[in-house]
Amino acid sequence: NAGVTQTPKFQVLKTGQSMTLQCAQDMNHNSMYWYRQDPGMGLRLIYYSASEGTTDKGEVPNGYNVSRLNKREFSLRLESAAPSQTSVYFCASSEEATFLLQKLFFGSGTQLSVL
C-alpha cells in the first residue's frame, strides 16, 4: 500500500541551486498536485495536472516548473532556489473521474530549506 511516494524527505539547498522533487502514485489516479505548506498559511497549490500530458498553474506557481512524466509521476523543479521557497512540499493525487471519490491522497512531504 505505497499510495503517494515523495522523495527526498529532507533537502538543504544554497540560493541559486536547482533541484527536482519527485512524486509517484500507484493508485492509477488521473489528477496530481503539488502544494507548499508554510506556518500560519495552510497549504497552497503550486501546480496541478488533471491528466497525463497536462499541467496548470495553481495559486503560487512563480519559481517552479512541473513535469507530468506519465500517469504515475509528477515532478516539481526549482530552477534557481530562493530563501522564500523554504517550505514543506506535498504531492497529492485524486481520481477525478469518479464523483464518489472526492478526496486527495497525500505523500509524506519534503522539508526544503534554502540558505
Partner 1 sequence: AQTVTQSQPEMSVQEAETVTLSCTYDTSESDYYLFWYKQPPSRQMILVIRQEAYKQQNATENRFSVNFQKAAKSFSLKISDSQLGDAAMYFCAYRSALHPPGSARQLTFGSGTQLTVLP
For residues 46-105, which are near partner 1 according to CB under 8 A? 48-51, 54, 56, 58, 88, 90, 92, 94, 96, 102-104
What is the separation of C-alpha 94 from the centre of its chain, rounded to a whole number of angstroms?
13
Nearer to partner 1, 85 or 94 (CB): 94
Cβ density class 47-73: b for 16+ within 10 Å, e for less? bbbeeeeebeebebbeebebebeebbb
- Residue pair 30/95 in contact (Cβ under 8 Å)? The answer is yes
Q: Supply the minimum distance, in Å, between the C-beta of residue 9 and partner 1.
A: 9
Candidates 12, 15, 44, 70: give the one binding partner 1 (CB under 8 A). 44
Per CB under 8 A, does 1 bind partner 1? Answer: no
In sequence order, which residues have a C-beta less than 8 Å from that of residue 109 and are 6 or more positions away?
6, 9, 37, 88, 89, 90
Report the candidate in 8, 3, 24 with the shortest Cα–Cα distance to residue 74: 24
* Choices 14-22, 25-33, 64-72, 78-86 (CB under 8 A): range interacting with partner 1: 25-33
Q: Which positions touch partner 1 (CB under 8 A)?
A: 30-31, 33, 40-45, 48-51, 54, 56, 58, 88, 90, 92, 94, 96, 102-104, 106, 108-109, 111
